[in-house]
Amino acid sequence: MDAMSTGVSLGWATEALENGLITEEETLVPLKFGDKEPYLRAISHIVKPENEFYRLLGKGVRAASRRYGGEDFAMQIAGNEMPGYHTGYGALIGAAVGARHSHLCNGGYSIDQDGQAFDPELMLDKIEKEETERCMLNSLVMCLFARKIYDRPTVLSALNALGWNLTDEDLSKIALRNYKTKLRIKKALGFTLNTVRLPKRFFETKSFNGMLDEKTAHEMLAAYQRRVSMLIAEK
């Protein structure tokens, strides 16, 4: 089980219970923020669901909130529960546009933390560039915590020591090819950023860089979808 998805799902369930959207008939335990024991039992119910509520919750907070309500505080981004970052547009948009909808796809949260003035197009440039590079790094089957160790010269030195004879240009081609492949798979499965719904809570809670504007966020998603469409169309 994923720790972040489980925590976000149980957080939504607790708030849904508080707001009367569900009852203890569904949760089977009295979920309450700060009360550990019921959550431990609820986790077991997700693992071995005894009712329809936990069967849906096991599919994620989006599936559960669509059935029971509370979508505005169901903290998911494109179907994936949010990570522990509410740093600004970089974290939010980065997770939404990421090929896997993970904060690890492009590290958008770190862009929020660099202290530079917010510029939507520049931020999208950085997100796209970082994700493309990580598509190469991930293909090495390395841990992203070590990404600053594996700079390009180190990667080339390691691979060429094994007889690959690659160049810096080769790494760029591999990165872009991997990224385009992921995007084309998503398109084939029917995904488009134009249908992503961002929960209202993201725009009601102050981020590391202040309050976020919902209109700006959706404009950035639309702009990135145009970038994706052009990338997919390239040979």
pLDDT in tens, 7-59: 999 999 999 999 999 999 999 999 999 999 999 999 999 999 999 999 999 99
Residue 79 within a domain: no
* pLDDT band (50, 70, 90) for residue 234: confident
Q: Give the pLDDT confidence of 156-212 residue by residue, as tens digits.
A: 999 999 999 999 999 999 999 999 999 999 999 999 999 999 999 999 999 999 999
Tell me, yes or no, whether 64 and 155 share the same domain: no
Q: Which residues of 26-56 are buried (b: 16+ CB within 10 A; e: fewer)?
A: bbbbebeeeeeebbeebeebbeeeeeebbeb
Domain tally, the chain = 2
Domain of residue 55: give its range: 3-74
Distance CA 219, CA 67 (A): 28
Task: Supply angle C-alpha 6, 102, 78, rounded to 5.
Answer: 80
pLDDT for 235 beyond 80: no
CATH number at residue 149: 1.10.599.10
Tell me, yes or no, whether 61 and 101 share the same domain: no
Q: In the predicted model, what is the mean pLDDT of the chain?
A: 96
Question: Domain ends where: 54, 74, 94?
Answer: 74
- pTM recorded for the entire structure: 0.92
DSSP secondary structure letter of residue 77: E
